[in-house]
């Protein structure tokens, strides 16, 4: 169940003409603050607003005709939900999405808007995997997991592939980490295209299971982490992604929510990007000084922009005293 660079190259061909080739932005202000040359790969401008479209479209494209006719089921707090819903719509595949009752409204409404059927569950009492398995069994659907799937991982890795094609070799690549699909796929692509690069995963401190697991070399869990980075509230990395992270990634670190709020708002103000806090995890590790990158070329993947504007108001109130903009 491993994933290779050739799988990522194949995924890039599958996605050609369907996924956006998202822009790479730079900022003199960021470069001055960090002493580095920083390149932001902006997946907040991807279709449905996040990198998840890449993996979902790639995975659904590989289904056989019978599976496409029967349809798929996915479980997600938001971005994977929207990605599978949109990919299903584009490919003519019926999609059912299992979402928590407290999923951000912007993501729930977008999922419904793409034509998917939504089944809700209580995050505190129910297992999303169990709910999805029950739906799949009853309706004869194929389950498309959010990260632990070779075609998902290969699709996500195309973001780093494009970044390397556009800007050339890098010293570091910072990647948000939830279940590890984006991180593991990006690491495979980056190391193949930029030998010597150090790929670093970044997750919220309240959900630091991959950080702990990376240091201990054993899979760790974190039940329902309380963090504003809702896209990284996964309980653990996967059976496929975790070994890839151990073999391909240089380091994994965690950042607290207060720093994440600060730098999310900084990027919104200074770079005019609409991003969700999860999307700013990598940037936060760099801008907070947790990674010393003076004189280096640094890539930062901004994973998504599906922020709930009502929640954003709360972030503004929480972070306004510390921002100093």
| 6 catalytically annotated | no
Q: Quick check: helix, strand or coil at residue 252?
A: strand
How far, in Å, are 6, 7, 33, 144 from residue 13 at the CA level?
11, 10, 37, 20
| 258 catalytically annotated | no
DSSP 99: E
Sequence length of the chain is 325
What is the phi-psi region of residue 280: left when phi exceeds 0, alpha when psi lies from -120 to 50, beta otherwise?
alpha
Q: Which of 7, 43, 148, 203 is catalytic?
A: 203
| 207 catalytically annotated | yes
| 311 catalytically annotated | no
DSSP 195: T
How far, in Å, are 15, 52, 96, 141, 212 from residue 63 at the CA level?
15, 17, 16, 12, 35
Q: Which of 43, 148, 162, 209 is catalytic?
A: 209
| 179 catalytically annotated | no
Dump the DSSP string for 162-188: HHHHHH---SEEEEE-SSSHHHHHHHH
Q: Which of 207, 279, 304, 319 is catalytic?
A: 207
The whole-angstrom separation of Cα 59 and Cα 66 is 15
The whole-angstrom separation of Cα 182 and Cα 147 is 8
Residue of 183, 243, 182 whose CA lies nearest to 213: 243
Q: Which of 7, 41, 49, 52 is catalytic?
A: 52
Q: Which of 61, 184, 236, 303 is catalytic?
A: 303
| 217 catalytically annotated | no
Residue whose structure tokens are 């932005």: 25
Q: Which of 61, 77, 184, 186 is catalytic?
A: 77
Active site residues: 52, 77, 203, 207, 209, 303
């Amino acid at each position: 169940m491993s994933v290779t660079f050739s799988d990522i190259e194949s995924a890039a061909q599958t996605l050609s003409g369907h996924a956006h080739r998202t822009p790479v932005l730079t900022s003199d202000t960021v470069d001055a603050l960090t002493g580095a040359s920083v390149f932001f790969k902006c997946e907040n401008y991807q279709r449905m607003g996040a990198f998840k479209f890449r993996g979902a479209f790639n995975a659904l494209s590989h289904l056989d005709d019978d599976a496409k006719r029967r349809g798929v089921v996915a479980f997600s707090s938001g971005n994977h939900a929207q990605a599978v819903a949109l990919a299903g719509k584009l490919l003519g595949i019926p999609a059912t999405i299992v979402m928590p009752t407290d999923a951000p409204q912007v993501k729930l409404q977008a999922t419904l808007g793409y034509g998917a059927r939504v089944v809700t569950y209580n995050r505190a009492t129910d297992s999303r995997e169990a709910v999805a398995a029950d739906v799949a069994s009853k309706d004869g659907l194929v389950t498309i997991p959010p990260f632990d799937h070779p075609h998902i991982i290969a699709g996500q890795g195309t973001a780093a592939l494009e970044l390397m094609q556009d800007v050339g070799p890098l010293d570091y690549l910072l990647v948000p980490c939830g279940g590890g699909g984006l991180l593991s796929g990006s690491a495979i692509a980056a190391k193949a295209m930029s030998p010597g690069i150090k790929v670093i995963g970044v997750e919220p401190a309240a959900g630091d299971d991959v950080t702990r697991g990376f240091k201990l070399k054993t899979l760790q869990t974190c039940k329902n982490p309380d963090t504003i980075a809702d896209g990284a509230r996964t309980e653990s990395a996967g059976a496929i992604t975790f070994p890839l992270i151990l073999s391909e990634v240089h380091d994994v670190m965690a950042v607290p929510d207060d720093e994440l709020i600060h730098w999310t708002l900084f990027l919104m103000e200074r770079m005019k990007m609409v991003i969700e806090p999860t999307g700013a995890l990598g940037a936060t590790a760099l801008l907070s000084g947790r990674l010393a990158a003076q004189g280096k070329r640094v890539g930062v993947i901004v994973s998504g922009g599906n922020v709930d504007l009502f929640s954003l108001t709360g972030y503004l109130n929480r972070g306004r005293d510390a921002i100093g903009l």
